[in-house]
Amino acid sequence: MSVGLLALLDDVAFMVRSAAASLDDVAAQAARAGTKAAGVVIDDAAVTPRYVVGFAAERELPIVGKIALGSLRNKLLFLLPGALALSAFAPWAITPLLMLGGAYLCYEGAEKVYEALFPHASHGDEEAQPAGTGHNPALEERRVAGAIKTDFILSAEIMAITLAALPEGSVWMKAAVLGIVGVGITVGVYGAVALIVKADDAGLALARSRAGAPFGNLIRGIGRFVVRGMPVLLKVLAVVGTAAMVWVGGGILMHGLEGYGLSAPAHAAHAAAESLGALLPSARGAIEWLVTAAASGLLGLLVGGVLIPVVSGVSGLLRRRGASAGKHPA
């Protein structure tokens, strides 16, 4: 009996060591895959703060919280099982779906640029709310819905990059890594967004500090600097977020076309990046990255610019049909 008990304990110890090794492997793979998706993570963090602009301070964190929950739902309930199913049964469909998402990002970014250059009625509801005027439930719901819709595309790219970075393994291993990356990135992105949008309140508290010498003046000066700087930072982030849409969308399309044998755009971008990078070897990596990003952004703007009249025409046609159906009920 003692021999049997020792054998059982040895088996249990082996199982525990195997489980620990598997967990370590999952964590390591999640870290590597999450690092490869870092570019899209930055884009996601840059896009989100613009959705809280125009609301009272007490509504900022609830809005970020709603978007974060929507992002988790996107990743865990839809994209994770969808990615696993596609990789198992229809891997050929992953690239076309990613390219559709990229085209959507190009349209969104180009539409924002067009709106900035030629203001029109499509975003009038956003402009109708001056900064910090209070709580507009209808506008808030539209902003949150728009943010979650945009997050879905960015999250799909994050999950696709993560899946592509994983070695062959069991479906459970892939699911665990995708889940860890999805939760970790969501917490990191929206935690950073929450800090950004509430930094002005922290700055105001510092500016009103009653601390005495020797650090009181320094604390109040830092607070005033933060309060004055946050509106500028939010505007910069709004620009970066718009640029990120066309940059990421154009990059998705460029890589997708390359996968289908249409490699001229990617080769041209790569050649330009190498040529310009060779001019300054000490900053070669940064220059090559900037040139590649600029090429992706240019492609994104071109595709988005083409899609603006197409989407506008289709939307107008659908509205006219809806109005006609309303006037002539069956």
Cα distance between residue 230 and residue 305, in whole Å? 31
Reported residue count of the chain is: 330
pLDDT tens per residue, range 165-180: 777 777 888 888 888 8
Between the CA of residue 252 and those of 132, 278, 307, what are the distances in Å?
36, 26, 16
pLDDT tens per residue, range 273-289: 999 988 988 888 889 98
When the pLDDT of each residue in the chain is averaged and rounded to a whole number, the result is 79
pLDDT tens per residue, range 285-313: 889 989 998 999 999 999 999 999 998 88
| 76 has pLDDT over 90 | yes
User: With a threshold of 0.85, does the pTM exceed it?
Assistant: no
pLDDT tens per residue, range 100-142: 888 988 998 899 899 888 876 544 444 445 555 556 888 889 9
Nearest residue to 92 (alpha-carbon basis) of 262, 261, 259: 259
Cα distance between residue 288 and residue 64, in whole Å? 34
- Reduce the DSSP state of residue 53 to 3 states and report it: coil
